[in-house]
Amino acid sequence: MKIAIIGAGFGGMAAAYDLRKAGHKVVIFESADYVGGLAAGFKEPHWDWTVEKFYHHWFQSDSSMLGLIDELGWSNKVLFPRPLTVMYHDGKFYPFDSILKALLFPGLGFGLDKIRFGFVGLFLRLTNDWRSLEKVTADEWMMKWAGKRVYEQMWKPLLVGKFGPFYRDVNMAWMWARIKARTTRLGTFEGGFQNFADKFAEKLRGMRVEIRLGAQVKFIKRNQTSGLSIDANGVVEPFDQVLVTVSPNLMAKMCPDLPEEYLKGLLELKSMGAVVMVLSLKRQLSKDGYYWFNLPKDTGFPMLALVEHTNFVSKEHFGGDHIVYAGDYLELGHEYFSLNDEQLLERFLPAFERINPEFTRDWVKKVWVTKTNYAQPVPLLNHSKNIPAIQTPVEGLYFASMSQVYPWDRGTNFAVEIGRRAARIMLEKSKV
């Protein structure tokens, strides 16, 4: 078969890998001039490593991603440092990257609150019954079982930070998945995620997968006889199967032949956008070497997370520059989407001064800001009923996006998992 894949993110490339191994001709269409999707990065001339536009890392439990890397023979290039994560409370930052440190966190109070925190965490780690948890909101469940103090100190800031005005609507299965699947040790790829994406793309090209960069797909339509046609950059080309790995909104625009009910399902899916600033600094921001600062919205910080990347991987990979992320998940229409880089930096500067009182504006060497409308799906009650099927009602057309990895949260691991799952469905269908 001749198969088209729309999107050269990790999911699209993983699907291409399996489909090509099965003997099919594969063409990947990517509108950007690089591969990697939302995990793509950039590099200054004096850096040896790339920096992701949106902060990324792997967990030790990311079996789909790490399994693919193992298949490709690159496991020796995966690094798992142990960075320090801290939580803000009452004007100070406290380590919060292990059960023991969590139990010592003063924001949880003493006695019964800490016991409830521990039992809730243990229950969510042990249970696999996420379907019953999706019937109740995380706000309601955590308030009942973790208690008011623990919920308001720990879980509510996470929900508000991730989902803004939708935080009360998010189901408990989302929270379960975060606690169930994540580890304290975090991983990256030697050279950065863009290095992995570029190596993977070269591997695919070596397998004779065609990757077309700068290829803007206008539409995907059914042919009058059989198969599908793709219009990319004004050139129409026929394919037997097409896998789309972009956002639900973009999928709906590309595929006008989709039935009204399927289109309605795509367009009703809610998601949060993201605005992330990357800075290169002359000096280390965190004197204590902290990597990840969790910053609750009610503490006056203008961002959800502040991440000092070079407290995770060495500054030597970046010519001695100290790399810092400042990012937030935001609803569409938030003012940060309309601010230019300098305006956004002015908003963020006071936060850097709170982290390190010695910080001054002249520490900043360079700033990069990346914005996306599609960064975090919002899972509502009984969300499993809202997930679009990978195999669409249009013969030969398939869809695999991070809105379908539910109950798991978005990330490269689950992008690979759903990309390979879509490839399996496509291969099974081709045998019928």
CATH number at residue 400: 3.50.50.60
Whether residue 302 lies inside any domain: the answer is: no
pLDDT at 339: 96
Domain count, the chain: 2
- The answer to whether residues 18 and 151 belong to one domain is no
- The answer to whether residues 134 and 198 belong to one domain is no
Which range (144-153, 198-207, 351-360, 380-389) has the least confidence?
Answer: 144-153
Q: Which of the listed residues 132, 152, 179 is the one where a domain comes to its end?
A: 179
- The answer to whether residues 54 and 200 belong to one domain is yes
pLDDT at 230: 96
Q: Which of the listed residues 147, 179, 211 is the one where a domain comes to its end?
A: 179
Over the stretch 258-276, which tens digit does the pLDDT of each residue have?
999 999 999 999 999 999 9
Whether residue 135 lies inside any domain: the answer is: yes
- The answer to whether residues 390 and 261 belong to one domain is yes
Over the stretch 205-244, which tens digit does the pLDDT of each residue have?
999 999 999 999 999 999 877 899 999 999 999 999 999 9
- The answer to whether residues 118 and 175 belong to one domain is yes
CA distance 415 to 243: 13
- The answer to whether residues 212 and 175 belong to one domain is no
Query: Do 243 and 27 form a contact (C-beta atoms < 8 A)?
Result: no
Over the stretch 52-105, which tens digit does the pLDDT of each residue have?
999 999 999 999 999 999 999 999 999 998 888 888 888 888 887 766 777 778
Angle at alpha carbon of residue 232, lines to 229 and 233, rounded to 5°: 145
Which among 197, 194, 199, 187 is positioned nearest to 50, based on CA atoms? 194
Over the stretch 14-24, which tens digit does the pLDDT of each residue have?
999 999 999 99
pLDDT cut 70: percent of the chain above it: 99
Whether residue 9 lies inside any domain: the answer is: yes
- The answer to whether residues 174 and 113 belong to one domain is yes
- The answer to whether residues 116 and 241 belong to one domain is no
| Higher-pLDDT residue of 258, 121 | 258
Query: Do 240 and 1 form a contact (C-beta atoms < 8 A)?
Result: yes
CA distance 250 to 221: 14
pLDDT at residue 200 is higher than 90? yes
Which among 23, 21, 15, 14 is positioned nearest to 69, based on CA atoms? 14
Whether residue 211 lies inside any domain: the answer is: yes
**Biggest alpha carbon–alpha carbon distance for the chain:** 71
Q: pLDDT tier at 371 (50, 70, 90 boundaries)?
A: very high
- The answer to whether residues 202 and 265 belong to one domain is yes
Q: Which of the listed residues 179, 212, 247 is the one where a domain comes to its end?
A: 179
- The answer to whether residues 106 and 154 belong to one domain is yes
Domain encompassing residue 198: 2-58+191-269+386-431
Whether residue 50 lies inside any domain: the answer is: yes
pLDDT at residue 432 is higher than 60? no
Amino acid at the residue 357: P
Average per-residue pLDDT for the chain:
93
pLDDT at 105: 81
Whether residue 304 lies inside any domain: the answer is: no
pLDDT at 259: 94
pLDDT cut 90: percent of the chain above it: 77
